[in-house]
């Protein structure tokens, strides 16, 4: 079949890096299609065009219909599509990654498989949340206790600042509207943050399931990374919105969080943090290249060239 004008697949070097993209876009009750190199979203109000290569993650809510051409463009652009539930509080599935390499994934798997190295990464994660504190000698139990006290203190501080009453985190995925306004806003902010972090993790080729603090869940690493930013981003925003709750508190939370993430260069920060946690001794990672190599237990680098017909050697 002859190639169609405007349908050429972009090379990896032509795509925007994940840290340079729009953080996320949430769509619901709309038809999503493709117009050249843009994603189109159509509802009763009309049609909007979104440049696919500039998008980090597309959150697809209830009532969305997505064409094959739109998903093909999202995949070619290295963007991530995440299917979510009503109000964005359920996660169902996600798309492919932007990267072709596996250096960060190899490092992640190696670190999480070694007890001492895993503990070291967990300590560095907690150190990022406790600036100025020395956590290098703490056990996981001590770190969890320190984090629990810190989060409780953060909730209390924002409750006093805004005058919004706070008792406890009350979240039921089956009953979003059953929570009070601050808990609804927290749920909407957290799930949006999870979606953005998830998109960065898969764009870098890491595993969402190989967590260092969290474990046993397909998104354990997502929760690890998102926890680095909740106290700074999600909690204060939720309390601010709960002062005078808007009619659509979930939608307003997503819009305001998106503004905060874009203004603060969040994607670049998230990429830097993940690379720093998994490859702390490397200050610069080379641009991604589409190559495949073979593992070797005897080679100095444990890597040999692929695409070569090797001769059998005798031991």
- Is 227 labeled as ligand-binding? yes
- Is 214 labeled as ligand-binding? yes
Cβ within 8 Å of residue 34, ≥6 positions away: 40, 67, 69, 70, 72, 73
| DSSP labels, the chain | -PPPTT-PPPPGGGSPPGGGSEEEEEE-SSEEEEETTEEEEEETTEEEEEEGGGEEEEEE-TT-EE-HHHHHHHHHTT-EEEEE-GGG--EEEE---S----HHHHHHHHHHTSHHHHHHHHHHHHHHHSTT---TT--HHHHHHHHHHHHHHHHHHHHHHH----------TT-GGGS-HHHHHHHHHHHHHHHHHHHHHHHTT--TT--SSS-SSTTHHHHHHHTTTTTTTHHHHHHHHHHS--TTHHHHHHHHHHHHHHHTTHHHHHHHHHHHHHSTT-S-PPPP----EEE-SSSTTSEEESS--PPP---
Alpha carbon of residue 133 to chain centroid: 27
- Is 174 labeled as ligand-binding? no
Binding-site sequence positions for Mn(2+) = 147, 214, 227
Binding-site sequence positions = 147, 214, 227
């Amino acid at each position: 079949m002859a190639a169609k004008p405007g349908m050429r697949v972009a090379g990896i070097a032509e795509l925007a890096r994940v840290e340079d993209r729009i953080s996320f876009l949430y769509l619901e009750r709309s038809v999503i299609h493709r117009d050249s190199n843009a994603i189109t979203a159509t509802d009763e109000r009309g049609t909007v065009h979104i440049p696919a290569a500039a998008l980090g993650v597309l959150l697809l809510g209830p009532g969305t219909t997505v064409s094959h051409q739109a998903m093909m463009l999202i995949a070619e652009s290295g963007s991530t599509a995440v299917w979510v539930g009503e109000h964005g509080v359920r996660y169902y599935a996600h798309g492919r990654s932007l990267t072709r390499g596996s250096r960060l994934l190899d490092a992640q798997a190696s670190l999480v498989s070694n007890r001492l190295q895993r503990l070291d990464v967990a300590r560095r994660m907690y150190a990022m949340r406790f600036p100025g504190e020395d956590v290098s000698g703490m056990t996981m139990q001590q770190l969890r206790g320190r984090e629990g006290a810190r989060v409780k203190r953060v909730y209390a501080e924002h409750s006093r600042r805004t005058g919004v009453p706070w008792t406890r985190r009350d979240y039921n995925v089956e009953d979003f509207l059953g929570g009070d306004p601050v808990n609804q806003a927290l749920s909407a902010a957290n799930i949006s943050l999870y979606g953005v972090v998830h998109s960065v993790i898969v764009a870098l080729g890491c595993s969402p399931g190989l967590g260092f603090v969290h474990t046993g869940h397909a998104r354990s690493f997502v929760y690890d990374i998102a926890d680095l930013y909740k106290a700074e981003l999600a909690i204060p925003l939720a309390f601010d919105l709960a002062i005078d709750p808007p009619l659509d508190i979930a939608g307003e939370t997503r819009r305001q969080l998106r503004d905060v993430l874009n203004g603060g260069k969040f994607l670049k920060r998230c990429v830097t943090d993940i690379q720093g946690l998994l490859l702390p001794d490397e200050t610069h990672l080379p641009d991604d290249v589409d190559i495949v190599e073979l593992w070797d237990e005897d080679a100095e680098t444990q890597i040999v060239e692929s695409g070569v017909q090797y001769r059998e050697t005798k031991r």
